[in-house]
Amino acid sequence: MGCYGDAFATTPNVDKLAARGMIYTHAWSCAPVCAPARTTIISGMYASSTGAEHMRSMVPFPAGKKMFPQFLREAGYYCSNNAKEDYNLVQPGLVWDDSSRKAHWRNRKPAQPFFAVFNSEKSHESKLRVRPHRQLHDPAKVRVPAYHPDTPEVRQDWAQYYDIVTEADTDAGERLKELEEAGLTEDTIVFYWADHGSGMPRSKRWPYNSGLQVPLVVYIPDKFKDLHPPEYKPGGKSDRLVSFGDFAPTVLSLAGIQPPDWMQGHAFLGKFLEAPQPFIYGFRGRMDERDDLVRSVTDGRYVYLRNYMPHKIYGQHIDYMFQTPTTRVWKQLHDEGKLTPAQDIFWNTKAREELYDLQSDPDEVNNLAASPAHQKIKTRLHKAQQDLARKIRDVGFLPEGELFSRADGGSPYDMGHNDGQYPFARVFEAAELASMLEADAVPELKQRFKDNDSAVRWWAALGMLTRGENGVRAAHGELAAALKDNSPYVRIAAAEALGRYGNDADLKQALNALVELGPIGKMPLTCRVCSKICRRDSSQSGGSGSLSPRSR
């Protein structure tokens, strides 16, 4: 965007708004994909706390709590949303006076105060691949980030992304014009933001700065100067760290409503302005059809990522992402061995920790996690990430299915705050042991196969899976026994470990365990666990049959 110093961008309407208002230079969406990001906004709680971090999931809302527009409606505001909701939380009663394509502040009662949200979908990821497309920005002049290969397809996608951001800016201009024509410009506080980082691969879906940083422009008319933060001035900028978790308490604060204590964000404007925070946070859970667990944190300069499933590659195959031409050509060049080291990282298994200096490395390709000179910084950020997980009792460390089974019809948030249902400390400790890949953690992980909590046992099995052949050798007996565990998630993790890294007998047992979990009749089974195709052997007796492998 032009107001952020990008001379290639064409965003005149938001630039004009920024000249009258103020931009935030460090704003994070918390999630790098729309639904969990918007869920964090509407609730004022991290989706990793409410159990709503997984893309397009749906969980009950925490008992006794509300979505923030409900507080505004109770205070007399007309609340409209046009029109995208896309929350992963069940709405606790009537949230909006109107949420539809026709929703508008004009539909309120005369002189009624209003809170209105307008969504432009012009810059959505799907618009990147619309062809034919009328080009506004020259692909030859686009800057290709260091993690992307410099090809015609990539340049086309980046240039088209600039084009569709311009279209979204046009929408913003129309909304601002409506206020002006109604004589409400100097009576209305305006926020402009995006719901996550760019729609390009490795930005969207990934909790780097590239996937989480959003533009945030705020205009507060002079008549409301008592609601200004100390740093507010027209055409100015704030380096305060803000995130989507802060939006709900901030809007309530602007309306003179004291945010409830259970909201996890911090008001950065208004009557109940809070002190600046030292960190902001991000998270990644299941993205469409692919499981993952990543947590990130920044202090504004350094970005730290903690990968709890380092056995998975960064660029897991997600069908929707692979519809973008950049993704396909990027993967093709990896397969052909034609990428630079920085470009090739995305198609390999993850580091357990990542640390980037945005000042010297804005594209986040030089991982400083092992740098002796940066250990204090890494330790400080890792501690901040752990402290937040403990504070909010992050339920993302459970298998997704257990968010529901343990909650037993209630909300994962409420379950997560009951130590009898979710022994967080034990589960979190097991997750750290499993994923930091320290050799001396193996004996402790083997002991955790005996824990009475299934999530602890799941992490024990994942810990051996992440260690590959060494892990399977070290805990072969425990993994074999885990194939009969009463938790399907433990059985799946053990089966993947034995199927990938065990012998032929292990492979057969692992596949049989998976078939028992998901009956397939006599249909062929193509398994991503290994490079073999297996089929039900109809000559075997027993209800579930067995599988006999054959070479691809």
| Percent helix, percent strand, percent coil in the chain, to nearest 5 | 40, 15, 45
Q: Are 509 and 480 in contact (CB under 8 A)?
A: yes
Average confidence (pLDDT) over 200-228:
98
Q: Number of folded domains in the chain?
A: 2
Q: Are 218 and 3 in contact (CB under 8 A)?
A: no
Res 351 pLDDT > 80: yes
Res 236 pLDDT > 70: yes
In sequence order, what are the residues at sequence separation of 6 or more whose Cβ sits closer than 8 angstroms to the Cβ of residue 373? Answer: none
Instruction: Report if residue 378 sits inside a domain.
Output: no
CATH number at residue 458: 1.25.10.10
Secondary structure E strands in 5-140: 22-28, 78-82, 98-99, 114-118
More confident residue, 69 or 522: 69
Q: Which of 277, 312, 346 is the last residue of a domain?
A: 277
Q: How many CA atoms lie within 13 A of 462 on its CB side?
A: 28
Q: How far apart (Å, rounded) are the C-alpha atoms in residues 67 and 43? A: 5
Rg (CA), the chain: 25
Tell me if residue 34 is catalytic: yes
Average confidence (pLDDT) over 5-31:
98
Range 336-344, long-range pairs (CB < 8 A, 24+ positions): 338/149, 339/149, 340/149, 342/146, 342/147, 343/146, 343/147, 343/148, 343/149
Instruction: Report if residue 287 sits inside a domain.
Output: no
In sequence order, what are the residues at sequence separation of 6 or more whose Cβ sits closer than 8 angstroms to the Cβ of residue 126? Answer: 323
Secondary structure E strands in 137-188: none
Q: What is the dihedral of CA 19, 24, 27, 33, to 10 degrees?
A: 0
Res 547 pLDDT > 90: no
What predicted TM-score, i.e. pTM, was given to this entire model? 0.93
Average confidence (pLDDT) over 123-134:
94
Q: What is the dihedral of CA 69, 71, 75, 81, to 10 degrees?
A: 10
Residue 519: its pLDDT value, please?
59
Q: Quick one: pLDDT band at residue 518, thresholds 50, 70, 90? A: confident
Instruction: Report if residue 198 sits inside a domain.
Output: yes
Q: Quick one: pLDDT band at residue 536, thresholds 50, 70, 90? A: very low
Average confidence (pLDDT) over 111-132:
96
Instruction: Report if residue 55 sits inside a domain.
Output: yes
Average confidence (pLDDT) over 417-440:
97
- Which residues are registered as beta bridge partners of 546? 537
Instruction: Report if residue 387 sits inside a domain.
Output: no
Q: Which of 230, 259, 277 is the last residue of a domain?
A: 277
Place of tokens 């704003």: 27
Q: Could you say which of 3, 30, 34, 527 is catalytic?
A: 34
Q: Quick one: pLDDT band at residue 335, thresholds 50, 70, 90? A: very high
Q: State the average pLDDT for the chain.
A: 94
Res 549 pLDDT > 80: no
Instruction: Report if residue 380 sits inside a domain.
Output: no
Maximum pairwise Cα distance, the chain: 82
Instruction: Report if residue 326 sits inside a domain.
Output: no
- At residue 27, the 3 state secondary structure works out as strand
Residue 503's alpha-carbon distances to 58, 196, 216, 469, 535, in angstroms, are: 40, 44, 54, 10, 18
- Which residues are registered as beta bridge partners of 284? 294
Q: How far apart (Å, rounded) are the C-alpha atoms in residues 159 and 361? A: 22
Average confidence (pLDDT) over 343-362:
98
Q: Which of 277, 292, 309 is the last residue of a domain?
A: 277
Res 545 pLDDT > 90: no
Residue 31: its pLDDT value, please?
98
| DSSP-derived secondary structure for 522-540 | TS-EE-TTSSEEEEEETTS
CATH number at residue 54: 3.40.720.10
Q: How far apart (Å, rounded) are the C-alpha atoms in residues 68 and 115? A: 11
**Tens of pLDDT along 285-302?**
999 999 999 999 999 999
Instruction: Report if residue 490 sits inside a domain.
Output: yes
Res 503 pLDDT > 50: yes
Containing domain of residue 495, as a range? 423-551
| DSSP-derived secondary structure for 493-521 | HHHHHHHHHS-HHHHHHHHHHHHHHS--T
